[in-house]
Amino acid sequence: MARAKKLERKPLVAVVVTVLFFAWLYVPIFAVALFSFNDKKSLSAFSGFSTRWYVDFFHNEALLESLRASLLIALVSAVGSLVLGTMLAFGLERVRSRRGRVVGAITLLPLVTPEIVTGVAALLVFTGAGLKLGLDTVILAEITFSIAYVTVIVRGRLASFPLEVEEAARDLGCTPWQSLRLVTLPALVPALIASGLLVFALVFDDFVLAFFTTGVDPQPLPVRIYSSIRFGVSPAINAVGTLMLLVSALLIVAALMLPRLFKSRSSSLDLITGGERR
C-alpha cells in the first residue's frame, strides 16, 4: 500500500467515472430487488411490501424445475470442462510441438467466436447427429464452450509453477504420475477452484447457447426467463433474479476467501482477471 501513496493524488476524473459507473451498474439491480417485494404486478410503481412473488416462485413447479435444470447444467459443465480443460492445459504447456500449438489455437477458437455462431453450429451438429435436444445437448455445448476458460486460467498458473519442483520429486523417486498427483496438482487447486467457479457462474447465466441447444423440458432458467419477458414479465421473475444475485454474490465471496483457505499470496480473483502472472 505504501506504493500507492507515492503516486500522484487521486485522479478526479477517474474517481468520478467510477462512482457514476457503480451507480449505473446497481440501479437496475436494486430495481429488480425492490420490485420483487412489490405487492402489485406493476414494474413501475411500488405500492407496498409483500413476499407473494417469492411464495409464487416456490410454488411454481415449472420455474423450480428450470432452476434445478440450470444448476445441474452448470455443475456438470464445470466439472466436465475442468477435467478436459486441465488436461489440455498440461498438454499445451508441456508439449511444445507444432501440433501442440495447433491444438492450442483450436481450443481457444470458442473464445473469439460470437456465441450466436457457436449456438447455431451446436444446434446443427446435434440435430444432424440425431440427438434429442434437451439438457444433455445444452451440457455438451456448454462444456465445449467453457474448456477454453479453464485452459487459459490453469495454463497461466502452470506456467508460473517452477518445473524444477516436479523434477526434484522425480529425482526423489516419484513416477511422472506421482509427481503430477502429489506435487503439481495440489499447487493448482486455487486455479482449479477459480476456473470451476467461473465456468459455473458463466454457464448458469448463459442464455444464447442454451437457447439454441435446448429442446424438451425442463428449460434452462435463462431460456424460461427469456420466453416470459417477451410477453411481459411476472414479478416472480424478479424474485428469481434477486435470488440469483444472492447466489452469485456468495460464489464470488467464496472465491475471494479462497486464498485465505490456501494461504496463498494472491486472490483467486486475480486468476480470473489475469493478475496472477505478475
Partner 1 sequence: MAAEAPHAPPGVQRRRSSQHTRMWGYLLALPTVWMVTFFISSMVIVVLLSFGTTTRDGFPVFGTNSGNFSALWDEVYLRLFVRSLLYALATVALSVLIAYPVAYAIALHGGRYKNALIAAIVVPFFASYLIRMYAWKALLSDDGLLNSGLRKAGLGDGISFLNTPWAVIGGLVYGFVVFMILPVYASLERMDTSLIEAGNDLYHSPLRTFFTVTLPATRAGLYGGMLLVFLPALGDFVSAQLLGGSSTFMIGNLIQQQFVEGQNWPLGSAMTVAMMAALTVLMVVYLRATSTKAREL
Partner 2 sequence: MTWTTPTTSRRTLLTGGLALGAAAALPGCAYIRDDVPVAAPLPKSAKAKIDGDLVYFNWADYLDPKVLKGFQREYGVSIIESNFDSMEGMYANIAAGNQYDVVFPIAKWVVKMRREGKLRVIDHGQLKNADQVFYSGSYFNDPWYDPRSRVSVPFTVYKTGIGWRTDKVSGMTGSWEDLWNPQGARHIFTLDDQDEALGMAALRLGYDVNTAKASHLTEMKKLLVSQKRLLRAYSSDDVNNMNGGGAWIHHMWSGDFMYLRQGLVNKPQNYDFEAPREGTPINSDAYAIPTNAQHPGTAMLFIDYLLRPENAIRNINYLYYPFPVRDAVATFTELAKEVPACDIDVKDLENPDVFRLLSTKEVQARTAAWTEVKAS
Binding site for partner 2 (CB under 8 A): 41-44, 60-62, 65, 98, 101-102, 104-106, 108, 111-112, 127-128, 130, 132-134, 152, 215-218, 224, 226-234
* Least Å from the CB of residue 108 to partner 2: 6
Select 94 or 181, whichever has its Cβ closest to partner 2: 94
CA dihedral 172, 175, 180, 183 (to 10 degrees): -20
Nearby residues of 223 by Cβ (< 8 Å), 6 or more positions away: 66, 207, 210, 211, 214
| Positions 93 through 132 that interact with partner 1 (CB under 8 A) | 93-96, 100, 103-104, 106-107, 109-118, 120-125, 128
Instruction: Please tell me whether residue 253 binds partner 1 under the rule CB under 8 A.
Output: yes
Select 132 or 181, whichever has its Cβ closest to partner 2: 132
Candidates 52-60, 61-69, 143-151, 182-190 — which segment interacts with partner 1 by CB under 8 A?
143-151
Instruction: Quickly count helices (H) and strands (E) in the chain.
Output: 14, 0
**CA–CA gap between residue 227 and residue 232 (Å, rounded):** 9
Residue from 140, 154, 209, 210 binding partner 1 (CB under 8 A): 140
* Least Å from the CB of residue 189 to partner 2: 24
Instruction: Please tell me whether residue 23 binds partner 1 under the rule CB under 8 A.
Output: no
| Cα distances (Å, whole numbers) of residue 227 to 206, 208, 231, 233 | 14, 13, 7, 9
Q: From the list partner 2, partner 1, none, which binds 105 (C-beta under 5 to 8 Å, kind-based)?
A: partner 2
Residue from 98, 260, 263, 278 binding partner 1 (CB under 8 A): 278
* Least Å from the CB of residue 59 to partner 1: 20
* Least Å from the CB of residue 113 to partner 1: 7
Burial class (CB in 10 A: 0-12, 13-18, 19+), 16: exposed
First to last CA, the chain: 16
**CA–CA gap between residue 38 and residue 226 (Å, rounded):** 21
Residue in the block written with cell 464470488: 252
Nearby residues of 13 by Cβ (< 8 Å), 6 or more positions away: none
